[in-house]
Structure 1
Amino acid sequence: MMFYWSLCVEYMKNYAKTRLTYRMDFWIEVLSDILFQGLNLIFILIVFQHTPSLGGWSQAEVVFVYGFFMIPYGVFGTFFNLWNFSERYIVKGEMDRILTRPAYNLYQIVLENIDPPSIFGSVFGAVIMIISWSQLGLPFEALDALMLVVFTLGAVLIYAGLYTALTAISFYSDAPTGILPLMWNIQNYGRYPINIYNKMIRFLLTWLLPFAFVGVIPASYFLDRHEDGLSTLALFTPVVGIVVLVIGLTIWNHGVKRYRGAGS
């Protein structure tokens, strides 16, 4: 554990040295991310200019869900920036370099592509949650803080498992492009009330590609949505996260064993 922790520290130091050389690029990236998330929030507000509720959810509740959705997504974006994996590690052969080192291969890849500015998305989401929490008049207890941490970790594990599995497709296919952007679009459905979708999409978002567990379901716990059963279902978020992560790592490890070097 100490070895892996020290490795993480060294990678963070190298990242800081690089960013200190181009400080303006760092803040431009942070600003662009915040503006993008701000546009998504504006879209939600515009929708509620034309309807008083969305599937029985008020504007403040939907904004609250969006705020929670941003917290695990920001953490995930910081540590699992794997969008260019196929091009960099398979096509260009950098996976060969990774496999010659003693540390776990996925851990190395994650650290090489770490993106700390994404954590500001989590800060943005937390601010939205706090404002919405106050507007909704929700009580706040010590247990709520603990459950927020548990749900966030569970949601991050779901993200990590799903995207690790999808990234691992690069080991099996020569043309995996287009899959990750499609999944990125699907994940955004998790920030809206799940009851506005038909049964097939609800089943997909809950049990097959459980993006509902990264947004609306765990957020429902704090909103006391007992009438639709979401508050109870939210308690399964960490369990779903562990299961999805195990599946993702299994697919990844099998793919690594299948890998035979650059050009394979």
Structure 2
Amino acid sequence: MFYVSIFFQYMAQYMKTKLQYRADLLVEFISDLMSQAVNLVFLLVVFGHTSLLHGWTRDEILFIYGFFLVPYAVFGAFFNLWDFNERYIVRGEMDRVLTRPVHSLFQIILERMELESLLGGVTGIIIMAYASARLSLSFHWYDILMFILFVLGGAFIYAGVFVSLATISFWSDARTSIMPMMYNISNYGRYPIDIYHRVIRYILTWILPFAFVGVYPASYFLGKKEWYGYAFFTPIMGVIFFGIAVVLWNAGVKRYRGAGN
């Protein structure tokens, strides 16, 4: 309950700050919509030249893309660690974090949250609804629970990968980072996994499991029974990878010696 209380206090302060600069909030929202629009245009251009992509229709791929946006939005709202090395290690702000009686990762997640990113999830749900109508998909009452479970699993997979990458900074304070490259690789999860070479499929499934963020769980709702086993494994992968990230984080914090020279 203590951590829940801290969470809502951080959220209240965050909303007060954002509402002081409404124009900036609107610009961020429009920028996010434009980015998603570019990806949609790309898909539409591809299907302007072909009716199928390795057996997947345009509407099926739109559904996968829409689903991908939802866990990605949750991840983007709470796990903005792209500048962790520069801000917390190089500038020494980790020292401030460690003086407080709250887990350091929890503090940094709350300090860096961007709740406006959740609007991307709304866009994803709209795209899914459009594609579902085109595909005449039918859903059961328990599919809502499965959707929430898959979204949380996908978000924790993303969080696990990027928190693990952030922990490298505890061992190396160099300013270079592989975060931007990993963000680009993560986008492969928004497309059907079987359009890639088998080596890439293996990497996106078991090493950098971004396929569990988009195509695998989305396949459950699309009725692709050959992928059901992978879909149900999504929350398990989320727990495993986020658990590994927390272990690495705790080990890195123990190694951290402060910002002194």
Change (3 A) 1:37 1:98: same
State the partner residue of 1:175: 174
Deviation at 1:55, TM superposition (A): 1.2
Find the aligned partners of 1:263 and 1:91 in 2 and give their Cα distance: 10
**TM-score between both structures, scaled by the size of structure 1:** 0.96
State the partner residue of 1:261: 258
Q: Partner amino acid for 1:15?
A: Y
Q: Partner amino acid for 1:124?
A: T
**4+ runs deviating over 3 angstroms:** none
State the partner residue of 2:95: 96
Find the aligned partners of 1:183 and 1:37 in 2 and give their Cα distance: 19
**For 1:245, what is the secondary structure of its paired residue?**
helix
Structure 1 unmatched ranges of 5 or more: none
Q: Partner amino acid for 1:225?
A: K
Find the aligned partners of 1:203 and 1:15 in 2 and give their Cα distance: 40
Q: Any residues of structure 2 matched to 1:181-220 within 5 Å, and which? A: 181-220=180-219
Deviation at 1:39, TM superposition (A): 1.0
Q: Work out whether 1:249 is the aligned partner of 2:256.
A: no
State the partner residue of 2:66: 67
Find the aligned partners of 2:179 and 2:68 in 1 and give their Cα distance: 19
| 1:146-176 deviations in Å (ceiling 9; x for gaps) | 1101100110110111111001111111226
Asked if structure 1 preserves the Cα contact closer than 8 Å seen for 2:189 and 2:213, the reply is yes
**For 2:36, what is the secondary structure of its paired residue?**
helix
Q: Any residues of structure 2 matched to 1:34-53 within 5 Å, and which? A: 34-53=33-52
Find the aligned partners of 2:53 and 2:167 in 1 and give their Cα distance: 37
Q: Any residues of structure 2 matched to 1:128-167 within 5 Å, and which? A: 128-167=127-166
Find the aligned partners of 2:36 and 2:252 in 1 and give their Cα distance: 34
State the partner residue of 1:222: 221
Find the aligned partners of 1:263 and 1:129 in 2 and give their Cα distance: 51
State how many pairs are aligned: 261
Q: Any residues of structure 2 matched to 1:99-114 within 5 Å, and which? A: 99-114=98-113
Asked if structure 2 preserves the Cα contact closer than 8 Å seen for 1:68 and 1:126, the reply is yes
**For 2:96, what is the secondary structure of its paired residue?**
helix
Deviation at 1:7, TM superposition (A): 1.1
Asked if structure 1 preserves the Cα contact closer than 8 Å seen for 2:66 and 2:128, the reply is yes
Deviation at 1:231, TM superposition (A): 2.0
Find the aligned partners of 1:176 and 1:198 in 2 and give their Cα distance: 33
Deviation at 1:251, TM superposition (A): 1.0
**For 2:52, what is the secondary structure of its paired residue?**
coil
Find the aligned partners of 1:56 and 1:108 in 2 and give their Cα distance: 45
Q: Partner amino acid for 1:140?
A: F
| 1:52-100 deviations in Å (ceiling 9; x for gaps) | 1111100000000000000000011001111111111001100001001
Asked if structure 2 preserves the Cα contact closer than 8 Å seen for 1:19 and 1:26, the reply is yes
**TM-score between both structures, scaled by the size of structure 2:** 0.97
Q: Partner amino acid for 1:249?
A: V
Structure 2 unmatched ranges of 5 or more: none
Deviation at 1:263, TM superposition (A): 4.6
| 1:84-131 deviations in Å (ceiling 9; x for gaps) | 111110011000010010001000000001101100000000100011
Deviation at 1:178, TM superposition (A): 3.3
Q: Work out whether 1:236 is the aligned partner of 2:233.
A: yes
